[in-house]
A and B are shown apart, each in its own frame.
Chain A
Amino acid sequence: MRTFKYVILYLLIIQLVLPLLVPLEAVYNFRMDYEIVKDRIEDIDPVLEQISKTIKEKKQEDYLIILGDSVAYSGPGGPEQSISFYLSQLAEKEGKELPVYNLALPAMQAGDLYTMLLKLQEYGISTDKLIINLIYSGFVARKPDPPCVFWLAGELKRLDPTAYETVRKNLAANNRVDTGWKAFSRQLSAFIFRKVNIFKYKDYLARKILAPIEQPKGEDPTLGRPWFEKEFLPDLLQQPEYQKAFSDQAFIMDETNPQIYFLQKIISRQQDKKTLIFLASVNRELMQDNVEKAGYKKNLELIDQFFAEKPVAYLNLHDAIPNELFSDHLHLIPEGYQYLAEILWGQAKAMGMLE
């Protein structure tokens, strides 16, 4: 029994001390680590905890939060080819003290962005200066996919049960609603991974320990290559899942569209804060047949009209990036993300985000 008491004591010490010993760099490097987070979405929490700790330790009052999907995440390039890296460089160049925290993740939907705002509040991270990326396909009617909350449905249920109930039907149609044992099992796991620090940090620590014996993954040769060097792309983009994302059917711009429902909630939470929402660019040359349709153009106008009445800054970057800077129809090569960062930097300056 004495031994057991000591074990409990040691575990308590670890619980208290572990978050203090882990540096931010172990969990965050200009953006979240998709390879880790995609397998266990609770792995977002250590990132938020460490950012929160850094903000407090360094007494950071001004910092920029980025939320979004694979565009803000800056796939398919590496962390040092991301908009957060380039924005940090720009800040440094101009002698501004503005840490940038990029919390975007591929496939994040408006529901995930809203849930991230709730999580940021939970961790005491301010969203006074916030940049969000949206893409055209987010507004397309969901039939039923993609789910309006791709990653964080469980967290939305915990943090805003009313919002969760509102979109439950869409989530259920996308197999994002667990019931019975599966729901219990998932909630138990999420609870342990949020509350018990050794579980919370285990994926990051295990990666660190195993790094010397892991076989290095060969770098994908298509990374960083522009779209016109990828011969397979035009055919691939004719597939229904890609074509659906460029639908020219008229957008429904009321709250029956989960995208609008969550955007309204995001905007209302961001009242009196400096928020920049940008619509990501599209490779007009590659998607020419789609983007020139009248219905598509009309939909872009609908998005512009929606934001025109809202108390947030909005940038329609649909045509803003030169086609040669794309790595596919939507994502950019490193020079493209640098270009995007410069646009965002300019707008942030204009909005007084750097003051």
Chain B
Amino acid sequence: MVFQSLEFLLLLVLTLIVYYLWPKGRLYCLAIANAFFYGVGGLGYLVLFFLLALITYFSSLHLKGKRGKIFFLLALGLNLANLLFFKYSLFILNNLERFLGLSFGYQNSVLTRLVLPLGISFYTFQIIAYLVDIRRDRLAPCRSFLLFWVFVSFFALVSSGPIMRGEKLLPQLERVKEQPFNSRQFKSGLYLLGLGLSKKILFADLLSPRVAAYFSSAPYLNSYQAWLAAYLFTFQLYFDFSGYSDMALGIGRLFGLHLTRNFSSPYLSANPTDFWKRWHISLSSWIRDYIYIPLGGSKKGLSRQLIYLFIAMTVSGFWHGAAWTFIIWGMYHGILLIAHKLYLVMKKRFSFFPKGGRIYHLASVFIFFHLTVIGWVFFRAQGLTNALLILKKMLLVNHFSPSDFRPLGLGLVAFFYLLHLGEFWLRKNQEKFFQFWQQKLPAPLRALAYTLVLLVLILFTKGTESGFIYAQF
């Protein structure tokens, strides 16, 4: 069930009505809505998810006891095994066959017919964070399964995050009974929902067929088209995933819950470190807290730090999908982070490196944006061969021909970048903007604007036909 479908709208409205009319039963209301949302995708997967949650919950109650380590390993192992089985088993078997010259004969087995359970990568990481936080004494185990179920399965975030930490979401859920209806918060939820829907419906979905057409004809692209394909996918992915995340945040706010923001104008980043603080923030902070820091982080010297960075980013790539293209994308970002760390070290040591300033910053943003665009080619291309083919056309000078150049395409890219800047400006000035909107514009005019937005969204929505890119991870 996708957020932009009529069925989801109905579920959301009914859940909100029951939620606000029956404060004492809010957790029950959310628990049922979550189970329904998840169950629509397949009853079997709901049962599996529910059982995993149940085992994790009971194990978490014993994490601080004598056999805490055993329970920790049991819960962790089960959740990882679930992820491994559904997401990576085929990839692993396939590569073992390829590299070891073996044959496992799984090609006609049930493995090849498995459908990836909704949000498996997201809920597994959320559960792992919960278990580790309890082991590290950063979080007290949840004492109610109802609360835990709502925490791991909240329908606003179960399919594509943000990956929430227990310390942030559980206290909010514990207090939902007392939460009064807050009209300001509700309006802000509607605004975020509208913003996310607009990004998804008006930009991501309209870009999707064009991007697909370019990437499916990789061998026939000229250099200009290869760049255009990469640029357009850069924006499609951003509008799709940040649109989803805005909707998730908005839905959370409708229920009075504050979820972690996942995006902060990432294409304005001047370097890779900055980028990972702005792109898929809940995942990058998860990778930092549960992989990079436990490995040793920056405490064991520069060379070790660089290795850990590379490992962490490779894991991040593998998390996205069971394919070499994702792993290479992760490695690529690992290399960018390493290069940036080394650059910072050199900059400190040698005086001839530029020290900063506005032009330096703008140049850094320009260069890093293009490095990001190059990376997305691995993320989107159908297989490594196609990715390398597109990159070759983008990067080798002999593929350039001035006659291929079309100003309209680049104009479109510039327009999307301006939109990105506009969003940055709007977020920065949203308080002022809301004040102006509420106080200076009369109700009929505001209503007209809302009606127009609603009409445009209805006109262009593709409903269930268009899923979210990150929902497949």
Chain A interfacial positions (CB closer than 8 Å to B): 2-7, 9-11, 14, 39, 181, 184-185, 188-189, 192, 198-199, 202, 205-206, 209-210, 215
Query: For residue A201, which residue of chain B has the nearest CB?
Result: B459
Cβ A185 vs Cβ B458 within 8 A: no
Provide a sorted-by-A list of 5 A–B residue pairs whose CB atoms are within 8 angstroms: A5-B447, A11-B454, A185-B7, A189-B7, A199-B458
Q: Which residues in window 401-455 of B have CB below 8 A to A?
A: 443-444, 446-448, 450-451, 454-455
Roughly how many angstroms separate A29 CA and B284 CA in the complex, as a whole number?
Answer: 54
A264 to chain B minimum Cβ distance, whole angstroms, is: 37
Q: B41: nearest residue on chain A (CB-CB)?
A: A181
**Contacting B6 at CB < 8 Å: which of A6, A7, A189?**
A189
Asked if B451 and A11 make an inter-chain contact with CB atoms under 8 angstroms apart, the answer reads yes
Q: A181-B40, A185-B7, A188-B6 are in contact. Are A206 and B447 (CB under 8 A)?
A: no
A14-B458 contact in complex given A3-B446, A189-B6, C-beta closer than 8 Å: no
CB distance from B34 to the nearest CB of A (A): 15
A196 to chain B: closest residue by CB = B458
Contacts of A215 in B (CB 8 A): 210
Indicate which residue in A6, A184, A185, A210 contacts B443 across the interface (CB closer than 8 Å).
A6
> Most chain-B Cβ atoms within 10 A of its Cβ — which of A10, A14, A199, A210?
A10
Contact pick for B7, options A2, A6, A11, A188, CB 8 Å: A188
B413 CB to closest chain A CB, in angstroms? 15
- Measured between beta carbons, the chain B residues less than 8 angstroms from A2 are 443
Cβ-defined contact, B455 with A198, below 8 A: yes
The verdict on B10 contacting chain A, using a C-beta distance below 8 Å, is: yes
19 new A-B contacts, CB < 8 A, other than A6-B451, A198-B459, are A2-B443, A3-B446, A3-B447, A3-B450, A4-B447, A6-B444, A6-B446, A7-B447, A7-B454, A9-B447, A10-B447, A14-B455, A39-B465, A181-B40, A185-B7, A188-B7, A189-B7, A189-B463, A209-B459
Q: Tell which of A2, A7, A202, A206 has the most Cβ of chain B within 10 Å.
A: A7
Contact with A along B7-19 (1 / 0, CB 8 A): 1001000000000
Interface of A is mostly: helix
Report how far A206 CA is from B7 CA in the complex, Å.
21
Candidate in A3, A5, A14, A209 with the most chain B CB atoms within 10 angstroms: A3
Contact B459 A206 (CB under 8 A): yes
Which residues of the partner chain B approach A188 to less than 8 Å between Cβ atoms?
6-7, 10
CB-based contact A6/B459 at 8 Å: no
The reply to whether the CB of B220 lies closer than 8 angstroms to some CB of chain A is no
A7 and B450: CB pair below 8 A?
yes
Given the contacts A181-B40, A188-B6, A192-B6, A198 and B447 also touching, CB distance less than 8 Å: no
Question: Is residue B343 contacting chain A, with contact meaning CB distance below 8 A?
Answer: no
Tell me the nearest residue of chain B to A6, going by C-beta. Answer: B447
Q: Which residues of A contact B454 (CB under 8 A)?
A: 7, 11
Contacts of B458 in A (CB 8 A): 198-199, 202
The distance from the CB of B33 to the nearest CB of chain A, in whole angstroms, is 14
Alpha-carbon gap, A205 to B456, bound state (A):
10
Q: How far is the CA of A185 from the CA of B41 in the complex (A)?
A: 13
Which 9 A-B pairs have CB atoms at the shortest separation, nearest pair first? Answer: A6-B447, A10-B451, A2-B443, A3-B443, A7-B447, A3-B447, A206-B459, A185-B7, A202-B459
CA distance in complex: A184, B5 (Å): 13
Interface positions, chain B 172-218, Cβ under 8 Å from A, are 206, 210
Q: How near does chain B come to A287, taking the closest CB pair, in angstroms?
A: 36
Residues B7 and A10 in contact, CB atoms below 8 Å apart:
no
B residues in contact with A198, CB < 8 Å? 455, 458-459
Q: With A185-B7, A188-B6, A189-B6 known to touch, is A10 a contact of B448 (CB < 8 Å)?
A: yes
Chain A residues near B7 (CB-CB < 8 A): 184-185, 188-189
The docked-state distance in angstroms from the alpha carbon of A192 to that of B446 is 26
* Cβ B455 vs Cβ A206 within 8 A: no
Chain B residues whose C-beta falls within 8 Å of the C-beta of A5 in the assembled complex: 447
Cβ of B460 < 8 Å from any Cβ of A?
yes
Q: Which residue of A lies closest to B455 (CB)?
A: A198
Other-chain contact of A205, B206, B459, B463 (Cβ < 8 Å): B459
Contacts of A7 in B (CB 8 A): 447, 450-451, 454
| Contact indicator per residue, chain B 44-85, by CB within 8 Å of chain A (1) or not (0) | 000000000000000000000000000000000000000000
Q: In the complex the two chains form, what is the Cα distance from A164 to B363 in whole Å?
A: 67
Residue from A6, A184, A199 in contact with B448 in the complex, judged by beta carbons closer than 8 Å: A6
Of the candidates B443, B447, B458, the one having the most CB atoms from chain A within 10 angstroms of its own CB is B447
**Minimal beta-carbon separation of A76 from chain B (angstroms):** 23
Closest residue of chain A to B450, judged by CB? Answer: A7
From residue A41, how far is it (CB to closest CB) to chain B in Å? 14
CA distance A305 to B244 in the complex (A): 62
Report the separation of the CA atoms of residues A6 and B447 in the bound assembly, to the nearest whole angstrom: 6
Chain B residues with Cβ below 8 Å from A189 are 6-7, 463
